[in-house]
Every structure is written in C-alpha cells, then in structure tokens.
Structure 1
Amino acid sequence: MKKTVANFVIDRTSYILFMFINSILIITFYSLTVNDTVEILYPISITIFLMLSYLVIDFIKYSRFNIDIQNSRNERNYNIRCATKEQKEIYSLLKELNLEHIKNENNIVNKYKEKEHFLANSIHKFKNYISVMALIIDKGKSQEVIERDILIDIEKENNNLESSLEQVLSFIRIDSFGNDLELTNVNIVQELKNIINDNKSKFIHNEVFPVFECSENDIYICTDKKWNRIIIEQIITNAIKYTVNNSNRKVYFNIESSNEEVILSIRDNGIGIPEYDLKRVFEAFFTGENGRKIRNSTGIGLFISKEICKKLGHTIEINSKINVGTEVRISYLSKL
C-alpha cells in the first residue's frame, strides 16, 4: 500500500502544483485590481478541500486498479476492475498481451512435445540399427573369413544410422536457423553432382541408379549452401527408400533455368504416394500408407525440407502417382 500511495502522489504532483499555482494567481490578480483587503485563507481552504476531495476519490480508483494488477500476476484470469477509460484501455492491452503470451507458450510446449516424440522415436531407431549390426557381427564371428556380404550389410546399417543422426541434428537446429545462415550464389549443377557423388554409397547399396538429365554446367541460384544440401539429401534419401521395390530403380535429376527462377526436379520411379496422403506429406511425423510398408519411415524428412525452404524463401512441391513414381520440385531465385 505504501508503494501505491507513493506512486499516486508522484503521478499527481503536477495536478497538485497546478491547483496551488492557480489559487495564488487568482489571489494575486484580485489583490492588484481590488483596493480593499483580499481574503486569502478562504480561497486557499476551498482549493485544498476540493483538491483533497478529488484526490481521495481518484486514489480509490487508482489503488483498486493497481491492487488488481498486482493480484493478476498470481492469478492469470483475475478480473481487473476499471473505473476510467484509460484503465479500460490498459486492461484491454493487458488481455491482448496475455492471450499472445498464452499462444506463444502453447507453441513452445507443442514444439517441445514434437521434439520429445521425435527424439524418442529416433533413439528407438538407433537401437534397432545397433542391434542389427550386432547380429551381423555375431554372424561374422562364427566364420573363419568374414564374407563381403556381411561387411556390406554392416555398412548399410551404419549408413542408415548416420542418415538418421543427421536428420535428428537438422531437426534440432531448425529453431536456431537464423544464427547459421549465409546466402550466396551457388552453382546448383556442380553442387548437385557433388551431393550425388557424396551419397553414392546409398545408391550402390540400394541398387538405385542416379540419372543426371541437365546438359548445362553452370546454373547459379541464391541459397545457403549447407542448408540447401540438407534439403536435397532428405529428398534423395526418400527417393531411394521408396524405389527399392522396383526392378529398374532410378532417380532422375533435372534443372530448368529461366531469367529469375531455377527449378530443381528430383524424380523417382518408385511406389508413389496415394492421393489422399499427398496433402499431408509435409506434416511432421506423418508417414501415411507408405510408412506402414517401408522400414525406417519417420515422416520428418519432407517436414525438414519444407521448413528450410520457407526460411530460405524457396518453394517446394510434390507430385506423385501410385506405382509410377514421385517428383519433388524446388524453386530458387537465380540472383542474389
């Protein structure tokens, strides 16, 4: 209460000074214009009485509002009593800020739950990969000479583990995207060739053949080189994963260039995506019908790609037909 009284006096200091100065000026005016003796005590008393009456009423409104403000800190939905339009405006602003805070809080909680769910599933996957590698190693120990097929199987599971770890790290780093961003002009033709070459073990182990259809050598786009690589690698991983049931396994890469836009197309001839699942493929953790058929589906790769594209200003779209294949198209600006 002492703090409230002190704050009230400080807030009303200018009003109190104004009333006293006003009274002094009026008395001075009459003393200079009227020859008779001017009464001083009476107008001063009237001024003090009226001023104190106003201040008491005003303090009741002021203190009630401030007490309610203090109580609302401990109780989120506490009803604040407003006596003036100014207080109503302040209360309206507080409610808006509170709603915005609740919304942000819920978003943070939901993101935390998403990450918790994703990390739990990922750890379970890592354990599976490690268990499979342990079984393969045990099988190899029983042989005098380790067969090449056993080493290939271990390498395949190790690649799966490495891809999953990279996916987890990318998912975690998305929230701090702005701290690790560098937009530059990138030669997408050479960069795509490098990415395909760096992922050749995935193609070889899954017996999928990459087909590069672009004849040009230099096409530049505006992007972040590291984050763009993550997008493309996620799409390549999906293309390989959902092409394994085809006898003629291929992934086609094409780049179309115009004056202001460059479109990268990555197309496979795999199992395709049902039409009723297409609208949800960019949602976090959505695996759809194919996720129940194919091992190691997480429903996070396309979500990561979509989120990175939004932050970089690229657009990504997907088209697919059952038993025909899937095409992912990424649109870039061609100039920085």
Structure 2
Amino acid sequence: MSILTFLAIVSIIVIMMIAQLAVVRVWTVKYEKDDIEAKYKEISMLINTNSNISYDNLFDTMDLDVMIYNQNKEIIYNSMSEIPSDLEFDNPYRIKSKILLNFKYDNVILNAPVTINGVKNNIYIFNKTDVFKDYLEATLHIMIFVVLLVIIISILAGMYISKKFVNKLKKLRDTMEEIKEKGISNRVEIHDEKDDFDKVNIVFNSMMDELENSFNAQKQFVNDASHELRTPLTIINGHLKMLDRWGKNDKGTLDKSIKVSLNEVERLTKLVNDLLQLSKAENELVGNSNLEEVNIKNVVNEVIYDFEIINKDVKFTYDIEDNLKLYMMREHLKQLLIIFIDNAIKYCDKEEKKIHISIFNHNNNIKICIRDNGIGIPEEDIPKITDKFYRVDESRKYNNSFGIGLSIAAQIIKLYKGSLNIESKIDEGTNVIIAFK
C-alpha cells in the first residue's frame, strides 16, 4: 500500500511537471515566432526607406543571421557562412516560419519577401534563441527539489496510511482470535461509523450478533427438546420398572401403566413429528414445481369439516370472498389453518367454543383472519408465542402441546414472504391475521 501510494503521488507530480513544461514550451515557441516576425517587419521598413543603411550594423544589433537574394536567386547579402539547406528559392513570396526544437536552443527561421529601393527581393532570417533553455536553468533545481520533497512526503504518508490500515486490520484479527479462544460474545470496537474500515467492522459485528443469536437459539432448542423428551421417557421408565418389580402381577396396575406408557409414547411421537415439521419448515425451499394455484375456500371447507367431526362443541362460521386463490403448496395452507384452529380450540374454556374465519382481498393482499372466544394471550407474551417450545400456560391446564405449532406456522408464513399479526385480550379471545401478497 505504501508503494502504491508513493507511485501514485510521484506519478501525479511528474505528469503535472511535464504538462507545465509543455505549456511553457508552447508559449516560448509562439513568443520566438512572434519575435522574429516583428523583427522582419522592422527590417523591411528600415531597408525599404533607407537605401544607405548598413546591413552588418542592423543585423548585428538584432543578433540575426540574414541572407538577402533577388528573384533570380542571386545572393545580394549573406551574413552566414554557408547557404542554408532548407532555403526555399521556389516559394519566395510566402512567409514561412520553421521551428527546430531542442533543449539547448531553438533555431527560428523566416523566409519572406522584402522590397529594397522599390525592387522586390527575398530575405532569409535565422535566429538562435535560448528562452526555453534559460527557463529550464532557472527552474530545474526547483523542480528537482519539489520532486524529492514529494517523494519523501509520499513515503511518509504511505507509511502512515499503511500503519493506520494495518492497526485497524490487526484489531479485527485480534477480535477474531478472542472469539476463537473465548467465545462469540466479543466484538470489534467501533470508533467512527463513517470510516470505511469501521463500516466493515460494523458488518462483522452484525454478522456475529446474528451468529450468536442463532447459536443461542440452537442451544435453547436443544435444551428445550431434551427437557421435553426427558419427561415422557422418565414416566415410561418409571412405569416399566414398577411393572418389572411387582406390577405385572396386578392386573389393575398393569392396565394403568400400559395406558400411561402408551399416552407418553403418543406424546413422544407427536413431539418428534413436530420437530421434523419445524425443521422442514425452516429449511424448505419453495420451487416453482412445488407451487400451485390453491382455491382458498375449498381448503377452508375441508379443514372445518375435519374439525367438526371430532369437535362437536365448536361452532364454526366463516366469511370468504369467492374465487380467492393463493399461489403456494396446498398442504402448507392446510397446515397453517390446522395449527391456528387447533390452538383456538385448545385454549378455550367456554362451554360453546366459537371460531370465525374471514378471508378477503385488501389492497392486493389476501388476508386470513381466525378469531376465537378463548382465554386470550397476555400482551407481553404475544411477541414470544412463535418461539420454539414457548408456552403461555406452563401448567398445561388447557393442553399438553410442546409449543412448536406456532413456530411451524411462522416459518411457513415467512417462507411465502407473508406477515403474521396476533391481537388478543384476556378472557375475550384472540384474532390471528395472516397476510400474503
């Protein structure tokens, strides 16, 4: 990074200096051309108005090498040692300035017509100038000093930036090492939220927060599942030991123990099935091949019919718009309805249990509302009821469920990018609102 910073800064300075020299060079060339043309006009005027003028004095004063020749290409005057190779005898009446450039001096040449005593002749002017050379001699040491200064500053700046960058990277590395050794609760310290590197640290901390939450949730899930499995297994183990010691000879005890054991086996089976359903809902990917256009009213009628057969004390009413359809797996919609209706029945202490289902289209969203007249849910428990194994009624006064059903429902709704809202009042009932786009 130091090398890249150094090269970038030096390159910029070098490019700027080259550009500066190019601009000065263009200016000096133009200046030299304008200067020789101005001298040409002065010479033309002087030799045209004064026939006795001394060419040697005139051209020495102007510090010019000059050759004058007539239209017959005969040389009238020549202050140069030899005839120039670039002299254009064939085009004597066109002004032409030619610049020969180098870094020591400039050769400025002008070939143009001139009138002497009323007779048309031609003049070739050669001028050697060193304007650009003088500029280089005056500024070159300054440029070299500036380049060296820039090199030193760029090296120091690169080292500072690199050190600052490496220090921040080191903090991130140290935090990773601490997480590896001490656990996932450590986080990178944030100093400036606008700093780009700290933005990376913020993302890293956010990822670690999600990972820690997921880890804790998994840990809690294992603990809760172990607890739930332990209870029925303990009961079954106790009854089997009792039967093994003396209960198998007592018909009453034998029948009772077998019945209790079968009930606990059923609970274990239900728990395992619920865990499998939850795992499936959390990890299932919905592909186009699995989806279908489901007629909502037909599924609701099917679910209500099944519940009415085994729950004679439940009164179902519903209000469903015709031809409402959802694009999803039919079994998922059916499972959602079963979970919420089953909870509504379990958590109701009324002699007449009432469940009203209304399904309608609202602002291009299909809303499914399931309202009951059950015991209700305390306001502080509503945000938690979709957590795995969470039960409002720990005493299981109303049911022997494991608190997994609503977690499954929440995962299915999330799978289809829907929303779940639960409104409830104690002793008045609960209204579950599901919305799908």
State the TM-score, normalized to the length of structure 2.
0.55
Asked if structure 2 preserves the Cα contact closer than 8 Å seen for 1:68 and 1:79, the reply is no
Q: 2:339 aligns with which of 222, 231, 234?
A: 234
Q: Deviations over 1:126-170 (max 9, x none)?
A: 23234445566776993889x998777566444433443344345
Structure 1: unaligned runs, 5 residues or longer:
81-87
Asked if structure 1 preserves the Cα contact closer than 8 Å seen for 2:319 and 2:359, the reply is no
Q: Does 1:180 align with 2:177?
A: no
Asked if structure 1 preserves the Cα contact closer than 8 Å seen for 2:278 and 2:408, the reply is yes
> Which of structures 1 and 2 has the larger relative contact order (alpha carbons within 8 angstroms, sep 6+)?
1
Give the structure 2 partner of residue 69 of structure 1. 165
Give the structure 2 partner of residue 191 of structure 1. 299
Q: Deviations over 1:150-201 (max 9, x none)?
A: 7775664444334433443455456656x3366653223333455567889x
Asked if structure 2 preserves the Cα contact closer than 8 Å seen for 1:263 and 1:332, the reply is yes
Q: Distance in 1 between matches of 2:396 and 2:199?
A: 47
Q: 2:248 aligns with which of 139, 142, 165?
A: 142
Following superposition, the deviation at residue 222 of structure 1 comes to 2.4
Q: Deviations over 1:265-312 (max 9, x none)?
A: 25364xx13545454454636534x22344656555435534543553
Choose between structure 1 and 2: higher strand proportion: 2
Asked if structure 1 preserves the Cα contact closer than 8 Å seen for 2:376 and 2:430, the reply is no
Choose between structure 1 and 2: higher helix proportion: 1
Asked if structure 1 preserves the Cα contact closer than 8 Å seen for 2:190 and 2:198, the reply is no
Structure 2: unaligned runs, 5 residues or longer:
33-127, 173-187
Specify whether residues 239 and 297 from structure 1 end up closer, same or farther in structure 2 by C-alpha distance, changes over 3 A only. same
Identity over aligned pairs, percent: 15
SS of corresponding position for 2:421: strand
The 5 Å alignment of 1:307-326 reads: 308-309=412-413, 312-322=417-427, 326=429
Number of residue-to-residue matches in the alignment? 311
Q: Which stretch has the larger CA shift, 250-259 or 69-78? A: 250-259
Give the structure 2 partner of residue 160 of structure 1. 267
Give the structure 1 partner of residue 64 of structure 2. none
Asked if structure 2 preserves the Cα contact closer than 8 Å seen for 1:190 and 1:218, the reply is no
Asked if structure 2 preserves the Cα contact closer than 8 Å seen for 1:186 and 1:223, the reply is yes
Q: Give, as a single letter, the amino acid of the residue that structure 2 aligns with 1:110.
A: N
Specify whether residues 275 and 52 from structure 1 end up closer, same or farther in structure 2 by C-alpha distance, changes over 3 A only. same
Q: Give, as a single letter, the amino acid of the residue that structure 2 aligns with 1:189.
A: K
SS of corresponding position for 1:25: helix
Following superposition, the deviation at residue 118 of structure 1 comes to 1.8
Q: Does 1:124 align with 2:227?
A: yes
Specify whether residues 213 and 159 from structure 1 end up closer, same or farther in structure 2 by C-alpha distance, changes over 3 A only. farther
Q: Distance in 2 between matches of 1:47 and 1:240?
A: 90
Q: Give, as a single letter, the amino acid of the residue that structure 2 aligns with 1:36.
A: T
Asked if structure 2 preserves the Cα contact closer than 8 Å seen for 1:265 and 1:330, the reply is yes
Asked if structure 2 preserves the Cα contact closer than 8 Å seen for 1:221 and 1:332, the reply is no
Q: Give, as a single letter, the amino acid of the residue that structure 1 aligns with 2:5.
A: F
RMSD in angstroms over aligned alpha carbons? Answer: 4.5
Specify whether residues 41 and 172 from structure 1 end up closer, same or farther in structure 2 by C-alpha distance, changes over 3 A only. farther
Q: Deviations over 1:75-131 (max 9, x none)?
A: 146899xxxxxxx99x62322332233133112201220221022211221232344
Following superposition, the deviation at residue 56 of structure 1 comes to 1.9
Give the structure 2 partner of residue 36 of structure 1. 129
Following superposition, the deviation at residue 72 of structure 1 comes to 1.4
Q: Distance in 1 between matches of 2:384 and 2:352?
A: 22
Give the structure 1 partner of residue 201 of structure 2. 98
SS of corresponding position for 2:148: helix
> Between Structure 1 and Structure 2, whose CA radius of gyration is higher?
2
